[in-house]
Amino acid sequence: MSGGDLSHIGFVMDGNATWASRRSASPMSGYAAGIKVASDVVIASRARHIKYLTFYAFSSENWGRPETWISAFMELMMRFFADGEFIQKILDAGAKLKMIGDKSKLSPELQRIMNECEERSQDNRDILVQLAVSYGGKDEIVRTAQKMAKLGIDFTEENISAHLDTAGIPDPQLIIRTGGKHRLSNFLLWQASYSELYFTDVLWPDFDDAELDKAIHEFTKRERTYGR
Q: Which amino acid is at 37?
A: V
C-alpha–C-alpha distance, residues 137 and 94, integer Å? 28
Is 14 annotated in the active site?
yes
Specify whether the backbone of 24 is left (phi greater than 0), alpha (psi in -120 to 50) or beta.
left
**What CA–CA distances, in Å, run from 64 to 32, 67, 141?**
21, 8, 20
DSSP state of 136: -
- At residue 55, the 3 state secondary structure works out as strand
In the three-class reduction of DSSP (H, G, I as helix; E, B as strand; rest coil), residue 151 is classed as helix
Q: Which helix (H) or strand (E) holds 106?
A: none
CB 206 within 8 A of CB 180: no
- Asked if residues 112 and 143 have their Cβ atoms less than 8 Å apart, the reply is no
213 is catalytic: no
Rounded distance, CA 55 to CA 41, Å? 10
Helices (H), 57-191: 67-82, 84-92, 108-120, 137-151, 157-163
Q: Which residue is catalytic, options 40, 62, 206, 213?
A: 62
> Which residues are identified as catalytic?
14, 62
